[in-house]
Structure 1
Amino acid sequence: MQKDFFYEKSGPFQLGQLIEEINIDAEILGDSSLMVSGVSTLIAAKKSEVAFFYNVKYTEDLRSTKAGVCILKEEHKEYAPKNITLVVMQNPRLLYALLIEKFYPQRKSESYISELAVVKPSARVGSNCVILEGVIIGKNSIIGDGVFIGCNTVIGDGVRIGDNTRIDTNVTVVYAMIGSGCHIYSGVRIGQDGFGFIPGGPKIRHVGIVEIGNNVEIGANTCIDKGTLENTVIKDNCKIDNLVQIGHNVEIGRGTIIAAQTGISGSTKIGENVMLGGQTGIAGHLKVGDKAMAAGKSGIINDIEAGGVVAGYPAIKINDWHRQNIFLKKQIKKSEV
């Protein structure tokens, strides 16, 4: 089935004008008047389409591509076919992403509130919103302008949602304040109680909330617990993948990226522009400094300094982890002799 059945497509565009409109620092080597009709992979691209190359693993695909245009770095020009127009820039993936936005712009929905949605009388809904079937919006909630709320999503009492935020189907948002321009994907649960128990005693009642900044993305089926007394905080421009667990009182700094199946235990503080690989686990009450990085499946049980790069369990500096693995391989070989 053709993907154009699901997406509205724009174009074609003249290559030179397209690059000029995007306003990005790139050099065209070849025919800037070429009309381009879409973006594709190196293997599947046609003469009228744009492909991109950034990983030498795919050099043979570049050499044999039928694309009319290829975006790549200066140092990769030698791998390209002679008859292809090149767009040379330092970050090909950035232009690739911007071109997808150009050819497949986000559909703009007209203002619509379904008769099958339940909006409590004390709730306030802004202008140009789309609220689909089965949505429930609780008492005293405030929904900003241009918000999209998908089918069967529940917005609890007193929740605040900023302008132009999109919340997909089957999401639960309670005890939360969400900023503008966010995207909350299907199945996300925001504001549930955290995992706080006293052994042999009762569950600790959580009376904090969740604060989410602007331009945050939260992937499908991720869970973000509200705080106990302090709030759980996710600051601007964070990108969180699917199936991530964020415990109570966690703080995540601006621009942090968290890959799938990561779990962050309660009261841990994550700095700005941190990158956490998939299936990373972080114990509670730790500090991870700005711009730190953790390889996939890292088990972090100690603080990580700013700029630190760690791997393994327990997580250690990544160079030490590599040395450790080399040493173990040598010991195994010796034991096999």
Structure 2
Amino acid sequence: MRRMLMIRPGQRWSSTAEPELGLGTILRSDNRQADIVFTGCGELKRFTHAASPLVRVRFAVGDHITIDGRALEVEEVGETDGMLRYRCGGEWRLEGALDPEQASLPIDVRLPLNACDPSHLFDLRSAALAAAQLDQSGFEQLALDLLTHFGGRVAPLTPHRFLLDSRELSVPDFEQALPASLPCRFPSEHADDDGSTLLDAVHPLYAAARRAFLASGAGGASFMIDDSLPARSAVLQTVFGRDDGALTALAVDAKFNRLGSFQPNAQSLYRARHAVIDMKPYRRSLEAIYPNLLQAAREEAGQQDMRRLLALRLVVGSEFALFGKNGR
């Protein structure tokens, strides 16, 4: 059964059917219908609650919002009678002040709006968030993946050494000119200084790549189909954090069991690397199961005082589109 939408005039919602309309503002709502105006394009639409494609747009602390064309960081969130308030730069702003076009939407909203990224970017974001906790092998893999993400081509030479083809490398905030073929090495007690560039955790190239990747929001929300999962099964992987930088990774299955360690099938993950998935066949299934999975993950993270959602990936079986069809 579809849960009752708590819609109030003045709230900001978006349409999963037409996400290109941007943020809309509720003008009128009763027990059956709601009128919403999308000021970015000047369209007024009426939706019936029972079949509404609307999704609530709720930003969290640490998110960036756009008001009057200015990007602001959310420092605190308040709510009164269903209306959200955001404190930015010490000043409170009502949600109605948000621009209709936002540079980045909240992570948990992007998935229903089909604004998700390729699945492998979730793993890259998770590693980038946990960079300070990685061992040597993990750091090396993250560094190579980041450089590859920004257009660099990497060729291994010997253990801990590689050749970086920098001709297509584009890392924002990194202005230093690099040779077309740059010998690089990672820190290792067995590696001698042979004149190659030492790429460690504080190297400006690596630091700029990690900072730019996290700021871009890439990998914050991902969706993939894992053919190895049973039909109608789903697993929500999440990364939550605290303000002090501590992280926790959770995986919750369709029965709300927490999975100690879960990774999608390697072959399915490889196939999903460049796949563009049309979410429309899965929309009814998403509406049926995604909010409950996310709520279960939030409750689990809340018990650990990890309340800031940093990344999520919904992994589903190949017959996930059939989920909930009996309820039509």
Which TM-score tier does this pair reach, normalised by the shorter chain?
under 0.3
Larger radius of gyration: 1
By relative contact order (CA 8 Å, sep 6+), the higher-ranking structure is 2
**TM-score with structure 1 setting the length:** 0.21
**TM-score with structure 2 setting the length:** 0.21
